[in-house]
Amino acid sequence: MSLESLKVDLSGQTAIVTGASQGLGRAMAIALGAAKARVACVARNAAKLAETVAAIEAAGGQAEAMACDVSQRENVEKIIETVAEGWGRLDILVNNAGITRDTLLPAMSDEQWDDVINTNLRGAFLFCRAASQRMMRARYGRIINISSVSGLIGNAGQTNYSASKAGLIGLTRSLAKELAKRKVTVNAVAPGFIESEMTQALGDAVLGEVKKRIPAQRIGTGDDVAACVLFLASPAASYITGQTLTVDGGMTC
């Protein structure tokens, strides 16, 4: 699936993408904007958010930067209110905000555990709770939670991150059952090894070994993940809910 071949029209719809300042969040926000949705770009870094908004607007889309700590209930509820009331509707929510604080569990501090769970899982919970109330009343909505293959198979040194991403899958399945009757779908996307500044820093030798473990024989791109999110956000995905779509080139098959 590629963005070039996937034709989705989200004209008149509004979307919120958390963690939109860089990486996957930026790619997903740009894809939604290109599909003509108006996008609220959420993250802590206002300067980087401005770059995402500029990229969307340069392509002819509409977007607005909204700086926010996603673990704070008051901030989250304010953003939902701003979009739903100020923009007239809320159709799509992509919970992508996430951090890592990697270390082996015996050496992991309370703060390293709490920071990751609060951002990755509590943040998604807060946005889902506030957004679902609006979507249920409108009898339409698309909620997409960005998990990870680490939430499916685990990863040494990432017990906090893997737990948060596995928690997102459980949240997705349960919430999907609660909202299906109101025509609100809830799905998860679990990316595998995706190109980023962090992966490039590993060097060619390490990347070569990683590619050997992936049946597709390549590292994924932000557009690979964005294409899946775009489909799940579209009206065409109305009968898909409670699912976790793994985007990893076959690494976990």
Q: Give me the CATH number covering residue 230.
A: 3.40.50.720
CA distance 209 to 253: 18
Residue 123 domain-assigned (yes or no): yes
Q: 77: Cβ–Cβ under 8 A, 6 or more apart, which residues?
A: 126, 130
Residue 110 domain-assigned (yes or no): yes
Residue 251 domain-assigned (yes or no): no
Residue 4 domain-assigned (yes or no): no
Residue 72 domain-assigned (yes or no): yes
Q: What's the chain's length in residues?
A: 253
pLDDT in tens, 30-55: 999 999 999 999 999 999 999 999 99
Q: Report the percentage of the chain scoring pLDDT > 90.
A: 90
pTM of the model: 0.95
In this structure, what token pair is assigned to residue 42? 């959420």
Residue 106 domain-assigned (yes or no): yes
Residue from 161, 224, 225, 226 carrying the catalytic annotation: 161
pLDDT in tens, 204-218: 888 888 899 999 999
State yes or no: pLDDT of 99 exceeds 80.
yes
CA angle (118, 120, 126) in 5-degree steps: 70
Residue 9's pLDDT is: 95
Range of the domain at 127: 14-193+222-243
Residue 139 domain-assigned (yes or no): yes
CA distance 54 to 71: 26
Give me the number of domains the chain comprises: 1
Residue 200's pLDDT is: 75
Residue 63 domain-assigned (yes or no): yes
In sign, the C-alpha dihedral spanning 156, 160, 161, 163 is positive
Average pLDDT, the chain: 95
Q: Is 239 a catalytic residue?
A: no
